[in-house]
Amino acid sequence: MSPDKIPPFPQGSFTDAVRESSRLLTEQVKITINQNAAEKLLLSPAFTSSFERLKANHGQLLPLKYPSIVTELNVMSVLTVLNMASGYRVPLHKVTGRGAYDNIKMLVMGLYLSSTVEIDYISARGMAALDHQKVADLMGVLKHIHVEAPHKSLPGVIVGELGGPIFELVRLITRILNETGEALQSGGYPNLGTFLLEALKKAKGDPDVVLQQRLTLVQLVRGIPTFRDMTIMDGQAIYVFKKALLMIHLVNLRFSSSPHDFVVPDTSQLPVFSDNVVPTILVHLGIIDLSSATLGLGELFPDVDVDALLQPATSVEKTAQGVPKEGPLLTSEQSYALRAAAIYACDVVVSTARSLTITDQKLLWVSSITLPELGGWLWAGAKDRTDYRRLGRFSLMGTEFF
């Protein structure tokens, strides 16, 4: 992100800044949030039949055993730092047969399982020293980071050189890990888990305090570049902070049911963690209305049968393996507008749920849903049923934020 696109950090509450800037941008680009569509979703068979099963599914648990809470927090944190690569979903499917997030999980497991006493790849020092060759090797894409190109001085000769979308992703991941490790080292922390545990002990359950904890004198978002999920559009500061908010909620999901020597933050009021999946589903469900939107947003998504999407799934089985359908490729401005609209839209959906008059006793729970639960349902639901998985998700290559 260019320096002229980086706004000042919020002066007060980070979560308030996320909400307010998202609402302002949504209105600025003339995106409409359809409250009637929100009500239809909340009472639909698609929602009511699957919400309980999917509401806490943010995909962050790995099949690993940990020797300590610090180690588990560290792995969780590294996985959250790398919660991205959505713009490379199709290229990754072509070379690995797995989606973006599954590839990231495989990488983090590889970093953890291949670490030794001499080389701990998820320590601050280890992350700072990683190179793209090691990252590509652990991802299983080493042979896919070269492209064929004409020799610069020998006509007719074709050579292999580093390049292509997979190399672009590997280089992006390597930079994020290097920068995160360097930031931790400058703050005197051996790893992200130690930093997060210290932040939790000081936070006393306030999610905004966790967001603003300092790496020594620098706040979390200031100190770790990949958490700077913010921009300026038409002079307006826009804050999303998806990864940082997600990290806090994952701590809540994992540790709220058992006692620990830190206070688990209450995340029920956090803004939704907006990526590319959540806005896409909200558009297809008719809740985000782009018919009058600027920035060319109105032409991005095809019309779909909303009523069919609101019916119960005929099967919860995943689709057969194959390269997914490519969704619209967005600019940075378009993606921020849609991600902001999703944050605002989810606030509207939950507010609508609170005001519903529900006569069916079995559905009274709808009025008490939380924002992270709604976000979890939207994210997991997009992967849960065949028709939702076929919906083309928008993508943005080169971003580290989603």
Which residue type, as a one-letter code, is found at position 232?
I
For position 207, what pLDDT does the model report? 84
Quick check: 38 and 287 in contact, CB under 8 A?
yes
For position 214, what pLDDT does the model report? 37
For position 217, what pLDDT does the model report? 26
Give helix 69-81 / helix 242-255 axis angle, nearest 10°: 150
For position 216, what pLDDT does the model report? 30
* Per-residue b or e along 257-289, where b marks 16 or more CB atoms closer than 10 Å to that residue's CB: eeeeebebbebeebbbbbbbbbbbbbbbbbbbb
The predicted model scores a pTM of 0.91
Helix (H) or strand (E) holding 271, with range, is none
Which residue type, as a one-letter code, is found at position 67?
P
For position 24, what pLDDT does the model report? 98
Per-residue pLDDT of the chain (402 residues; tens, 9 = 90+): 555 688 999 888 889 999 999 999 999 999 999 999 999 999 999 999 999 999 987 766 788 889 999 999 999 999 999 999 999 999 999 999 998 999 999 999 999 999 998 999 999 999 999 999 999 999 999 999 877 667 677 777 666 677 899 999 999 999 999 999 999 999 999 999 998 888 888 777 778 777 654 333 235 677 788 989 999 999 999 999 999 899 888 988 999 888 788 888 888 999 999 999 999 999 999 999 999 999 999 999 999 999 999 999 875 544 445 677 788 999 999 999 999 999 999 999 999 999 999 999 999 999 999 999 999 999 999 989 999 989 989 999 999 999
For position 213, what pLDDT does the model report? 45
Quick check: 24 and 350 in contact, CB under 8 A?
no
Give the Cα separation of 138 and 195 in Å (integer). Answer: 25
Encoded tokens for 207: 């999610």
In DSSP notation, 81-110 reads HT---GGGHHHHHHHHSS-HHHHHHHHHHH
